């Protein structure tokens, strides 16, 4: 996934400099890593107030110390010494405080200033003494009277508002400081996370104009076509609402990583000229419960304020995963976030012009509630690119690269079957780096080939690149499905055969689109479906005389179908029109209990095996008869990677002998 490159970087550096400069001048060192990294936009505000607060605090402390030193020439003495200073006549005036006596000695000097002429004198303070009161000394006041010492009592000193405020604030500031420090140590964004839980990270990535257009996305023509409609919704909403139509709120982009889902979402915003809010599903999920929900609220509020606009939620499976039924192992935070998302999606009127695009590569784990009408009810499939698609993507990504004359991008496209757009972009870049390393002025074919090797070796675990033998086997397997479907009466027409690896387990696939909506399948059609499923393995056996693991999924689906025919649909000989139900246990991995006899179970097992074997033999025989057709079509498939429905029908028509 792409990580919205420049925008964020620029914003960070701009705000970061403020505090970095401060840090440098103040402490003569670079700021620690704990403040850097993914700090978002709002850090500026926080950093500023934080440092100002710190400086003010220092100023107060300095002031306090200064005030304290002003009283420093008060000499603290013992009580009896104090008394003897009174009787000795040194102390002339006594201030009686709550806990202390303060004694002052004066000299009478000629007054200064305006009083100079009048020859008057004024008292000038020479020294102050202080002592703690001795409780209930009845001789003290008489002593003062006796020596004619002036005395007066002062009101107890109340702590000033300022100092009591400081008394409260200082510990709080201290705790906050430690908290921030600890969380920033715990990982980049913690400090921000703690002090601004609910602030929306999507603010950071709201782009005015994404600068991406449909022309920047190669291949994916069908997906583009579907998304063009979304652009039209955003541009001319009235066209749809005037006749009472509802504009869809959410579109789910489904496809493996790196196939350009983010790019397409950006292109939609770019084409429609609307702002683009991007968040990743994982951004919502924080360690504090409720934060994710608050973020969702915030995101939608922002989007409404900026409508028309696009919200893009990448990796929606992080929050959209099916909610747990029993509450065991549930994740409150994620579920709250998901609920909030559902509430927000239901709550807004599609006329506000906010359309939510979301991307996932695992649509099957999403909560069904997300896919209901009025939510993500549209799905757009973005698959790995075919040969032409790869060629086009390579063209786009080599546009700004100087290519030598010997470069043949078509060949590179052929050699990179199974790779996604992001991998191809990476290959183009890697080739350029290789050329530079060798001090060449242009990228050669050899550079590109080496780049493929490099990225394929690195990607081996990540994505599937089949070797020649495997490709051939997969091609025969898929052609086997397609031909069997063609030869089977009542089977739906083949609309596409592909040997571009897709998803996590499929190495190739044969698509059959029903010509009409089907609610019922006849026994004959069910058997036709089973035949088609078995066709892949049968073709492998016909050509290679051995079978492989590639058919695992087909076999299990075929056997399952046969079992259902017997148990659910009452289509077996012995239990014709009788169901043999199994109750579902409801707990994954635990088998349900059956409601029929052991004997019936035995019958189900042997009958399933008999039917599957019987069908397999027929399918194999048919393919054997049409081995030539199998070989011709497979060759074409190996060359083009994809055969469309019409191409296939034409080929089959001329080759197949029934
Ligand atoms: P996804 O969101 O599906 O994981 P991205 O949209 O993030 O994939 O794709 C990553 C990068 O790969 C894109 O920025 C782009 O450079 C490149 N890319 C992927 N698919 C295409 C495509 N169809 N056309 C052009 N570039 C593509």
DSSP assigned state of 104:
E
Instruction: Assess whether pLDDT exceeds 90 at residue 188.
Output: no
pLDDT of residue 395: 93
Determine whether the shortest distance from the Cβ of 421 to ligand 1 is under 6 A. Answer: yes
Q: Say if residues 251 and 269 touch (Cβ distance below 8 Å).
A: no
Token duo for residue 237: 């909403």
d(CA 241, CA 436): 55
253 or 205, greater pLDDT: 253
Q: How is 477-527 classified by DSSP, letter by letter? A: HHHHHHHHHHHSTTPPPEEEEE-S-BTTTBS-EEEE--SS--S---HHHHH
pLDDT of residue 121: 60
Q: Given 271, 430, 478, 541, which residue is catalytic?
A: 478
Instruction: Assess whether pLDDT exceeds 70 at residue 114.
Output: no
Determine whether the shortest distance from the Cβ of 259 to ligand 1 is under 6 A. Answer: yes
Token duo for residue 580: 């043999």
Report CA(543)–ligand 1 centroid distance (Å): 38
Instruction: Assess whether pLDDT exceeds 90 at residue 576.
Output: no
d(CA 237, CA 307): 12
Ligand 1, atom 11, residue with closest C-alpha:
422
Nearest to 162 by CA among 56, 261, 46: 56
pLDDT of residue 571: 85
pLDDT of residue 579: 82
Residue reference for tokens 């002003």 = 70
Determine whether the shortest distance from the Cβ of 425 to ligand 1 is under 6 A. Answer: yes
Determine whether the shortest distance from the Cβ of 394 to ligand 1 is under 6 A. Answer: no
Active site residue 478: yes
pLDDT of 17-48, one tens digit each?
443 443 343 334 333 333 333 333 344 444 55
* Least reliable range by pLDDT among 85-94, 95-104, 414-423, 455-464: 455-464
Nearest to 81 by CA among 35, 44, 134, 39: 134
Name the pLDDT band for 4 (thresholds 50, 70, 90).
very low
d(CA 561, CA 574): 18
Contacts of 434-443 with C-beta under 8 Å, sequence gap 24+, read 440/404, 441/402, 442/402, 442/403, 442/404, 443/398, 443/401, 443/402, 443/403, 443/404, 443/407
Report CA(7)–ligand 1 centroid distance (Å): 18
pLDDT of residue 38: 37
Token duo for residue 429: 């870049």
Nearest to 407 by CA among 390, 421, 394: 394
Name the pLDDT band for 624 (thresholds 50, 70, 90).
very high
Calculate mean pLDDT across residues 521-549: 87
Determine whether the shortest distance from the Cβ of 260 to ligand 1 is under 6 A. Answer: yes
Through-space distance between the first and last CA atoms of the chain, rounded to whole angstroms: 49
pLDDT of 589-620, one tens digit each?
455 577 788 888 889 899 999 999 999 999 99
Instruction: Assess whether pLDDT exceeds 70 at residue 383.
Output: yes
Where do the H-state alpha helices sit in 237-305? 237-241, 261-272, 281-284, 291-305
Report CA(421)–ligand 1 centroid distance (Å): 5
Name the pLDDT band for 108 (thresholds 50, 70, 90).
low
Nearest to 227 by CA among 359, 372, 425: 359
d(CA 656, CA 290): 63
Q: Which of 222, 252, 258, 502 to mutate to test the pocket of ligand 1 (most atoms within 8 A of CB)?
A: 258
d(CA 647, CA 582): 44
pLDDT of residue 68: 57
d(CA 248, CA 356): 9
Nearest to 99 by CA among 156, 150, 140: 156
pLDDT of residue 399: 92
pLDDT of 393-430, one tens digit each?
999 999 999 999 989 998 888 878 778 899 999 999 98
pLDDT of 307-351, one tens digit each?
788 999 999 988 888 776 544 455 677 788 888 888 888 887 766
Determine whether the shortest distance from the Cβ of 267 to ligand 1 is under 6 A. Answer: no
Report CA(15)–ligand 1 centroid distance (Å): 30
Residues near 296 by beta carbon (within 8 Å), at least 6 away in sequence? 284, 337, 340, 341, 344
Q: What is the CA radius of gyration of the chain?
A: 41
Token duo for residue 322: 């099916």
Instruction: Assess whether pLDDT exceeds 80 at residue 653.
Output: yes
Instruction: Assess whether pLDDT exceeds 80 at residue 435.
Output: yes
Name the pLDDT band for 205 (thresholds 50, 70, 90).
low
Q: Residue 219 — φ and ψ, nearest 5°?
A: 70, -130
Share of the chain above pLDDT 70, in %: 76
pLDDT of residue 567: 86
235 or 51, greater pLDDT: 235
Q: Using a cut of 0.75, tell me whether the model's pTM lies above it.
A: no
291 or 484, greater pLDDT: 484
Determine whether the shortest distance from the Cβ of 257 to ligand 1 is under 6 A. Answer: yes
Name the pLDDT band for 462 (thresholds 50, 70, 90).
very low
pLDDT of residue 198: 45
Report CA(568)–ligand 1 centroid distance (Å): 45
Q: Which atom of ligand 1 is nearest to the CA of 257?
A: 4
d(CA 230, CA 236): 10
Report CA(360)–ligand 1 centroid distance (Å): 14
504 or 302, greater pLDDT: 302
d(CA 543, CA 563): 29
pLDDT of residue 378: 86
């Amino acid at each position: 996934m792409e990580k919205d490159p420049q925008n964020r970087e620029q914003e960070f550096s701009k705000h970061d400099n403020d505090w970095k400069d401060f840090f440098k001048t103040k402490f003569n060192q670079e700021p620690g890593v704990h403040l850097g990294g993914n700090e978002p936009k709002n850090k500026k505000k926080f950093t500023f107030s934080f440092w100002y607060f710190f400086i003010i605090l220092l100023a107060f402390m300095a002031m306090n110390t200064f005030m304290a030193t002003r009283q420093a020439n008060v000499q603290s003495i013992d009580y009896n010494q104090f008394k003897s200073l009174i009787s000795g006549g040194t102390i002339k005036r006594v201030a009686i405080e709550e806990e202390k006596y303060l004694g002052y000695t004066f000299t009478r000097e000629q007054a200064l200033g305006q009083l100079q002429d009048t020859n008057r004198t004024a008292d000038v303070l020479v020294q102050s003494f202080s002592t703690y009161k001795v409780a209930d000394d009845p001789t003290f006041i008489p002593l003062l009277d006796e020596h004619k010492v002036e005395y007066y009592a002062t009101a107890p000193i109340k702590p000033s508002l300022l100092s009591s405020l400081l008394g409260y604030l200082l510990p709080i500031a201290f705790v906050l400081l430690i908290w921030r420090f600890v969380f920033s140590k715990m990982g980049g964004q913690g400090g921000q996370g703690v002090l601004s839980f609910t602030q929306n990270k999507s603010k950071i990535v709201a782009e005015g104009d994404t600068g991406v257009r449909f022309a920047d996305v190669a291949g994916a023509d069908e997906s583009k076509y579907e998304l063009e409609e979304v652009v039209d919704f955003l541009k001319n909403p009235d066209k749809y609402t005037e006749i009472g139509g509802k504009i869809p709120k959410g579109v789910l982009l489904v496809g493996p990583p790196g196939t350009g889902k983010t790019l397409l979402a950006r292109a939609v915003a770019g084409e429609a000229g609307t702002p683009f809010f991007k968040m990743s599903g994982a951004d919502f999920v924080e360690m504090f419960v409720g934060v994710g929900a608050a973020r969702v609220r915030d995101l939608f509020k922002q989007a409404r304020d900026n409508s028309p606009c696009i919200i893009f939620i990448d990796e929606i499976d992080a929050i959209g995963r099916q909610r747990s039924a029993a509450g065991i192992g549930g994740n409150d935070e994620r579920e709250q976030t998901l609920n909030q998302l559902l509430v927000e999606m239901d709550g807004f009127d599609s006329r506000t012009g906010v359309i939510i695009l979301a991307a996932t590569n695992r649509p099957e784990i999403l909560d069904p509630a997300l896919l209901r009408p009025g939510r993500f009810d549209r799905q757009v499939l973005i698959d790995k690119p075919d040969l032409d698609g790869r060629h086009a993507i390579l063209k786009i990504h080599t546009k700004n690269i100087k290519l030598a004359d010997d470069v043949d991008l078509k060949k590179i496209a052929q050699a990179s079957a199974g790779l996604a757009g992001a991998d191809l972009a990476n290959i183009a870049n890697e080739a350029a780096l290789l050329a530079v390393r060798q001090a060449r002025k242009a990228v050669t074919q050899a550079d590109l080939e080496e780049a493929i090797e490099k990225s394929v070796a690195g990607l081996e675990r990540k994505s599937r690149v089949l070797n020649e033998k495997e490709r051939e086997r997969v091609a025969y397997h898929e052609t086997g499905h397609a031909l069997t479907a063609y030869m089977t009466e009542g089977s739906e027409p083949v609309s596409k055969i592909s040997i571009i690896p897709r998803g996590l387990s499929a190495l190739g696939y044969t698509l059959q689109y029903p010509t009409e909506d089907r609610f019922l399948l006849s026994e004959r059609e069910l058997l036709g479906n089973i035949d088609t499923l078995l066709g892949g393995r049968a073709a492998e056996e016909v050509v290679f005389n051995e079978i492989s693991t590639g058919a695992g999924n087909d076999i299990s689906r075929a056997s399952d179908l046969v079992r259902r025919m017997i148990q659910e649909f009452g289509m077996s000989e012995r239990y014709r029109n009788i169901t043999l139900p199994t109750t579902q246990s409801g707990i994954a991995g635990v088998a349900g209990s059956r409601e029929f006899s052991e004997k019936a179970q035995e019958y189900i097992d042997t009958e399933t095996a008999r039917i599957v074997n019987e069908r397999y033999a027929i399918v194999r025989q048919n393919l054997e008869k049409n081995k030539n057709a199998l070989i011709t079509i497979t060759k074409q498939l190996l060359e083009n990677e994809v055969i469309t429905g019409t191409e296939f029908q034409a080929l089959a028509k001329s080759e197949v002998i029934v």
